[in-house]
Amino acid sequence: MIFVVKLNISAWIWPGCFGVLLRYGIFCCMISITDELSIPEDELRFTASRSSGPGGQHLNKTSTRVTLRFDLINSPSLSPEQKQLLLERLPTRISKQGVLRVVSQKTRSQAANREVALERFVQLLQQALEPRTHRRPTKLPAAAKEKRIADKKHRGHLKRERSWGISRED
């Protein structure tokens, strides 16, 4: 038996996250990507490291940069079609081992950087999984073709007029 619980109570829970209470009392936070796709938080790996840039003494002592890693290839939450789509559309962000990596070091707070990385992760997956609309080729109108050819003939006539000593009549 699975119960779905919407969470809005804690500061470390982000918008779009809902929890699933499993039969044995195990609580798992789910990250909602689309209406059909949700990824459990335990499939994500967060690591913290020292951030670069200005920040003074605070920067030298704390690990505020957050790296989110998601094993795309071994994820049971994604269908094979979704995995293939993500591999095609996010090739620069996915390693050879099939791990998607998102880094955030915008703020001086590890918790805020974790939220930013998670929001960026959700945004990347939403954009990559969004169905692309194919362009319907349109036919060039006959009037536009005629105008283009008339303009070309006019331009050619002007160039012929500029030449020295050669006169042709059309």
Q: In percent, how much of the chain has pLDDT > 70?
A: 75
Place of tokens 């001086």: 108
Given a cut of 80, is residue 111 above it in pLDDT?
A: yes
Residue 5 is predicted with a pLDDT of 43
Q: In percent, how much of the chain has pLDDT > 90?
A: 29
Angle at 69 between CA 65 and CA 23, to 5 degrees: 115
Residue 121 is predicted with a pLDDT of 92
DSSP letters along 28-75, please? EEEEE-SSS-EEEGGGEEEEEEPPPSS-THHHHH---EEEEEEESTT-
Q: Which letter does DSSP use for residue 143 in this model?
A: H
Q: How far is CA 37 from CA 16, 43, 52, in A?
A: 12, 14, 34
Residue 6 is predicted with a pLDDT of 43
Q: Which has the higher per-residue pLDDT, 110 or 14?
A: 110
Residue 37 is predicted with a pLDDT of 85
Among 23-27, 58-62, 108-112, 136-140, whose mean pLDDT is lowest? Answer: 23-27
Residue 42 is predicted with a pLDDT of 84
* CB-CB contact of 19 with 5 (8 Å): yes
pTM of the model: 0.63
CA–CA separation, 112 vs 62, rounded Å? 14
* CB-CB contact of 111 with 68 (8 Å): no
Torsion of CA 104, 109, 112, 118, to 10 degrees: 30
Among 21-35, 89-103, 107-121, whose mean pLDDT is lowest? Answer: 21-35
Given a cut of 50, is residue 94 above it in pLDDT?
A: yes
Domains in the chain with CATH codes? 3-129 (3.30.160.20)
* Chain segment 14-66, per-residue pLDDT in tens: 444 545 444 444 556 888 888 888 888 888 888 888 777 666 666 667 788 88
CA–CA separation, 45 vs 71, rounded Å? 9
CA–CA separation, 48 vs 125, rounded Å? 22
CA–CA separation, 162 vs 128, rounded Å? 56
**Residue 65 phi/psi, 5° resolution?**
-70, 135
Distance of CA 92 to the CA centre of its chain: 11
